[in-house]
Structures are given as C-alpha cells and as structure tokens.
C-alpha cells in the first residue's frame, strides 16, 4: 500500500487518509478499517488512480454515503474511493445534470425550489446520485429509472462513455451498473417536469412526517433491508414471524418498522449480517417466501 500512497502524493490525485474506520462512512456505523481512503480531484485524476490500482492489482471500492453497504469488521486491504468532489449541479429548464457525489436528498429539495416535479420520491433517500443510479433507488412507486435519461460512466477499460436509459436496464432495485460493477457513474442527466412549488413541497413534507412516525430514523440503519416481494411487504412478513425487537449483539429488528435493522449501540458488522441472515431464514422457513436482500456485503470473502 506504500507504493499506492506514494503514487497518490506524487500525482496529486487528491486528499487521502490512512487507516480510517469505515464506521464513519456507512449509515449502519459498522465496519473495519480501510488502509487508504482517497478523494480524487477530478475525472482525469480518478482514471489515473484506477489505472494504477488495476496495474498493481490492488482492490478498491467506490463509496457514496455508504447507505446501502455493510463492510465486514476485517481490514479492507485496499483503497476506498470517495467521489464527494464530483458535486456540480446544472439545471436548464426541466433537465438537471448532477455529479455522482451530489446528495440525492439535497437535489430533490433543489428541484422543488425550481418548481420541478418527479424527484419527490427521493426526498428521504440518504444516498448520492452515483449510488442511487447504481442501485435504482426508489420509493413511493417511483425510482431513478423513471427520471434518469442518461449517465456518463467510466468503463472497465477506463474509457468515458454515455449510457442511455435503455442501456441501463432499470428494474426494481436493479440496473445494468449494479450487474456490471466495473462501470463507475460520473454524472447523471435527470429529466423532470414543471410543477407547482407549493404542492411539491407539501407532498415532500407529508412524506417526511410519515417517515418520522413510521421509521426508526433516530438510530443508525441502512433503510429497508429486504425488497418487497410481489404483492406483499417484507415488513409485514417479518412482523408476522414475531421478529420485531429480535436482537443479535447490538443489532436489532426495529420495533417501529420490521424491515429496518438498527444499530442500537455497539453493533458489529457481524451482528448486522447475522441478524439479516437469521431474519431471512426464519421468514423463508415460516412463510416459504425467499426475501431478497437489498444491501450489499463488502469485504466478507
């Protein structure tokens, strides 16, 4: 890793940190140390870094807000790449060009102030544009697939390419990028429609109040753990199995919303993973429904 650090310094890739706790970079507040975490200054520096990492066969992970990832408690012997500086937003009429490091929540409120409708569903999703595009984040029967018209990416061959909506193969909590993680989202073009600022704001506020009442937002979590099966709700199935409040270590099935697992304090990544697996297996055993896990496990090999 010393060689990589020297490379980052010499080529002025961007600010970096060594031996950082991933607890500070994930919404579950769990995970081990990462040897290096770096904030590339721009696309050219990012490509330069990626080329070096591939040459040296050093593993890496691009990280947004860590709202859908569960890093293991082990050391991540590689490089975490944070694209926080890719945060430019341009708005022209109903079209928004947003960098991958832009907050999805902040962008939804910016759209509201511009009188643009279509992004209200995202006002409670704590991720970046890059992460949202990657996993097809959604809520309230809408998702990124409805609003993203094209995405600028770096390909596995380190070329810059534009993928259009039809190429992105958006499905429920899935996309071409999720199936092909060698691609890195740089920015997204989002197409909205004109709407009434006041009505958009009222809808977003109503939903915010509903979330406060129905979701355990006061605890570290990563949102919904399981996808809703066709015609049903994962939370209902988990509750039916009597798992609300069930605990492993510091991880607990929320009593407020059964499809949330919370870090009640001092949970390890293993606590969270073991509880997710326990809930999955229990629901499968009792209801014969094989719940699909929404969250991504990293560094468990």
- Which among 146, 113, 112, 148 is positioned nearest to 130, based on CA atoms? 148
Whether residue 294 lies in the annotated active site = yes
Whether residue 224 lies in the annotated active site = yes
Quickly list DSSP for 28-71: T----EEEEEEEESSHHHHHHHHHHHHHTT--EEEESS-SSEEE
Catalytic one of 21, 173, 211, 296: 173
Catalytic one of 34, 72, 224, 254: 224
Q: How far is 297 from 239, CA to CA, in rounded Å?
A: 24
Whether residue 236 lies in the annotated active site = no
Which tokens sit at 42? 């721009």
Catalytic one of 120, 150, 187, 294: 294
Quickly list DSSP for 110-170: HHHHTTEES-GGGTT--SBHHHHHHHT-EETTEEGGGTEEEEEEE-TTS-EEEEEHHHH--
Instruction: Indicate which residues carry an active-site annotation.
Output: 173, 224, 294
């Amino acid at each position: 890793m010393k060689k990589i650090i020297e490379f980052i310094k010499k080529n002025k890739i961007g600010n970096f940190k060594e031996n950082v706790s991933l607890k500070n970079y994930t919404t579950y507040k769990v995970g081990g140390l990462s040897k290096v975490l770096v904030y590339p200054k721009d696309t050219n520096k990012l490509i330069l870094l990626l080329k070096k990492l591939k040459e040296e066969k050093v593993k890496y992970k691009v990280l947004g807000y860590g709202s859908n990832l569960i890093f293991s408690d082990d050391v991540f012997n590689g490089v975490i790449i944070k694209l926080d500086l890719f945060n430019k937003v341009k708005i022209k009429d109903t079209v928004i060009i947003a960098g991958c490091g832009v907050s999805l929540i902040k962008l939804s409120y910016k759209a509201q102030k511009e009188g643009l409708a279509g992004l209200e569903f995202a006002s409670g999703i704590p991720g970046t544009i890059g992460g949202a595009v990657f996993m097809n984040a959604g809520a309230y029967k809408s998702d990124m697939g409805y609003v993203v018209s094209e995405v600028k990416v770096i390909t596995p061959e380190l070329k810059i390419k534009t993928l259009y909506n039809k190429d992105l193969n958006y499905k429920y909590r899935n996309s071409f990028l999720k199936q092909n993680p060698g691609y890195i989202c740089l920015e997204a073009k989002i197409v909205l429609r004109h709407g009434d600022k006041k009505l958009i704001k009222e809808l977003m506020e109503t939903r915010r109040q509903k979330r406060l009442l129905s979701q355990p937002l006061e605890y570290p979590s990563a949102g919904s753990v399981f996808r809703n099966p066709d015609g049903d709700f994962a939370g209902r199935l988990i509750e039916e199995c009597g798992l609300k409040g069930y605990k492993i270590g510091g991880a607990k099935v929320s009593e407020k919303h059964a499809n949330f697992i919370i870090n009640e304090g001092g949970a390890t990544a293993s606590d969270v993973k073991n509880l997710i697996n326990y809930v999955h297996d229990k629901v499968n055993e009792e209801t014969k429904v094989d719940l699909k896990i929404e969250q991504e496990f990293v560094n468990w090999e």
